[in-house]
Structure 1
Amino acid sequence: MAIGSDDDEGQFFNSTGISHNVHFFFGMYCTIFPFIASTGNVIFVMVCISDREYRSLSSTQILLWSSCSQLLSCSFHSLGGIFALTSVEIPFIVNKICGALMAGNDTFQYALILLLALNRTIAVCSLHRFDLLFCPRNLKICLCLCMLDGAIFVAAYLLPWFNFTFDIHRLCWIDSGELIDYIISVDFCETMLKLLIAFGLYLIILLYLRIKKSIKSTFSERKVFFQSLFVILIPFLDFFAFYYTEFIGSGYFFVMASNVSWMFMLCVNPYIYIAVNRTLRQKYVMILHQICGMNQTKRFAPSASRLSKGEIYLKNILKTKVVPI
């Protein structure tokens, strides 16, 4: 509800002192941008559905779960933006359940980042053990452990002592509750550990390629390096911004910046893998041409001559299929 004296003439929406126009702009952003951010994930899911062989790769299955998780987060962000635009308080039960799912889903995403880093490290550095370590049964076990990690936080936030709810005035998800400091500390330490281990694994890949010179192209090495930077640093910056507001507190615009960075993280990962993986990039182009009704998909069909040097190297060792970097 808007508060203030009659002298405001409705200039301010709430106690943050932010004008209606600014609040409306951010509300529209929170409502519309998640749909735009979902585009890359939606196309990736379509690629996986249309290509059974590509979907069978362990890295693709991890990315598929990650894309579905990010789509769920985008839907929750849009829901909060809709309530903010209509100036209607979210019912407590709805806010409680959505917040618990949001918190658990966020934890699940960070677990998938770590699992993908482990998958890439074994694929590059220990190919002869890859099929053994990431066989379908072991992959399902790993994914179940990631889901269990998220489910623990969902159950915790459903308890009366912890809340993760959307504040329509500040346009962000915030923690509250009597014992919230404990779960924030646990989440902080766990997430930091996941990101540091994942970043360390990507550095191992880079050092391995540099020392062994298995892939002679320095461009391939740079692709792996920049992939690690974006995949790790973007979640880390969002992670830092969120916990900075939790532990120290900050103004309206810094909180909004944290929320914006969160939504940006949801959309950037698919495009990182488009940029660094030629095969996936070609599949995206084929899907886009099918959507647009164009009959030029054969031109973009993946072929051995169009594979990157890194993918050719991996294909020659595996002898069966490409494990994309």
Structure 2
Amino acid sequence: MTHKPIEKVPNEDIAAEVQPEVGELTRNASRGKITATVLLTVATIFAGMLGPMQSAVNGQLGSYLGDGHAAAIVSFGAGLVLMFIIIAPRTKTRRAFLALPRHLANGTIPWWNFFAGLCGAVIVLSEGITVGALGVATFQTALISGMVVSGVLCDRLGIGVAFKQLLSTPRIVGAALAIIATILVVAPGYETPHVLALAILPFIAGLLAGWQPAGNSEVGRISDSMLVSITWNFLIGFVFLVVAFLLRAATSNVEFRLPDVWWLYLGGPLGLLSIALMALLVRGLGLLLLGLASTAGQLVGSIGIDGLIPAFGATIHMVTIVGTIVALIAAGIAMTPSRKIPKTPVGRAQ
């Protein structure tokens, strides 16, 4: 009985048949990744627009109450109540939150991490005081410019980051452009010195905001929950604002009242929604692209609110638009990674 020999398919033939399929799969995967990145970027831009919306609401709240300080208390109070509703029903988060004062007393982490909420309080306070006079675009540009400068300095000093980064030329240029952006957006108010003085508040708030994520991150680490960290952040800011208001009330004639318009309470919840969305989106985009897209959303949203909703904003000048574009460029340049500073041996100056 004879057996027919088995024909062997050359390796080259197999490769020729498989290669087109592999190439097609690779191209499909690449297209899918690009599509996902584009969709996530668009979502981040819209999430960034929540910042100007929060500023607009808090600015209107300040005008409604006639007191930016009282507006900040209402905004922080609304956010705090919402966070308590979220964490209180769960045993784990409730216990983690109640344990934070013990961590503070024991020095589990540096004490200043527990007071990062003061930065948020300053930002919301400056919204209630200045947005009505400055407009949303000017406020947001000054705030972002301060954050750009703060980010460059914090990276250099190693605040809230795993390693220090050198002050490279791009980062210095980015910080300088951020300052120029602030000057541009306040340019229409040169004839009114009080407007220029108001613009300093959001810029300083942006400078302080550099170490806020670092503190919140550390509190989130020891509590094993960013929800707990955010709640603590709101509590600290709220207590600070209330104590400061009581001191004002003891030395001057001030009055606190709650607004009777429901949407004026949305400032705090809008801030919380922005934080939650950013925490979700960063997983798919990474920090650099997330930062650029959210900054773009903040600036575009600011111009949109001022231009499309006159009751919420202010007059849009061409120099304001130029300033927001410069601020976006500054953020992009300043976010460029710089060379790491190597750790020096103990006992040797850095």
Q: Same fold (TM over 0.5)?
A: no
TM range (shorter): under 0.3
* Larger RCO, structures 1/2 (Cα 8 Å, 6+ apart): 2
TM-score (norm 1): 0.26
* Structure number with larger C-alpha Rg: 2
